[in-house]
């Protein structure tokens, strides 16, 4: 199950992404927002992050105007690795290297055609399990646990 959330800046792109997930037959849960009325992105960043940490969803997609505020929020939650991607190279690398569990997109930065290619790359790429990347993930986890 994929968790998806956005603020008003990401609402239109979220509609396109959900239509694409429907076409691919992938299940998702929409954590809002549900219109273009101005809202506060931390609400939706936290809701999607919580759904991943609880095990309800395996991966998440977060969208705001830039992708920054909503990904910064999600990264406050222990265990979340939210990656803001503006190209397919980063989407692939953040899965193989960082085992990112949330893809963040900026709807005012990345057009819908590219956003969907980035999304497909993110969803279709597995973590490499390379020992050096596993070691770095463990180091990130240790830093989190010190907080």
For the annotated catalytic residues, the residue numbers are 64, 97
Give the Cα separation of 29 and 48 in Å (integer): 9
3 state DSSP class of 29: strand
9 binds ligand RB5 (CB under 6 A): yes
Give how far the C-alpha of residue 12 lies from the chain's centroid of Cα atoms, to the nearest Å: 16
66 binds ligand RB5 (CB under 6 A): yes
109 binds ligand RB5 (CB under 6 A): no
Residues 6+ apart with CB under 8 A from 94: 81, 83, 85, 100, 103, 122
User: In the bound complex, which residue of the shown chain has the CB atom lying closest to ligand RB5?
Assistant: 69
Q: What is the DSSP letter of 9?
A: G
Give the Cα separation of 76 and 6 in Å (integer): 17
Nearer to ligand RB5, 66 or 75 (CB): 66
The count of residues interacting with ligand RB5 (CB under 6 A) is 8
Kindly state the smallest distance separating residue 69's Cβ from ligand RB5, in Å.
3
Q: How many CB atoms lie within 10 A of CB 64?
A: 30
Give the Cα separation of 27 and 82 in Å (integer): 20
Residue span binding ligand RB5 (CB under 6 A) among the ranges 15-23, 28-36, 63-71, 121-129? 63-71
Q: How many CB atoms lie within 10 A of CB 113?
A: 9
Among 49, 64, 74, 85, binds ligand RB5 (CB under 6 A): 64
Nearer to ligand RB5, 4 or 99 (CB): 4
Considering only residues 20 to 59 of the shown chain, the ones binding ligand RB5 according to CB under 6 A are 41
| Residues in contact with ligand RB5 by the rule CB under 6 A | 7, 9, 41, 64-66, 68-69
């Amino acid at each position: 199950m994929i968790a998806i959330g956005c603020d008003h800046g990401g609402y239109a792109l979220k509609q396109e992404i959900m239509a694409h997930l429907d076409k691919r037959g992938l299940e998702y849960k929409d954590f809002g927002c549900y219109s273009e009325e101005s809202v506060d992105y931390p609400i939706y960043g936290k809701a999607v992050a919580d759904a991943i940490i609880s095990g309800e969803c395996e991966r998440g997609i977060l969208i705001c105007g830039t992708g920054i505020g909503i990904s910064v929020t999600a990264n406050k939650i222990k265990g979340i690795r939210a990656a803001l991607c503006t190209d397919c190279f980063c989407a692939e690398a953040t899965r193989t290297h960082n085992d990112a569990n949330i893809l963040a997109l900026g709807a005012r930065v990345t057009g819908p055609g590219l956003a969907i290619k980035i999304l497909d790359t993110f969803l279709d790429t597995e973590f490499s399990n390379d020992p050096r990347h596993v070691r770095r993930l463990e180091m990130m986890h240790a830093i989190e646990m010190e907080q």
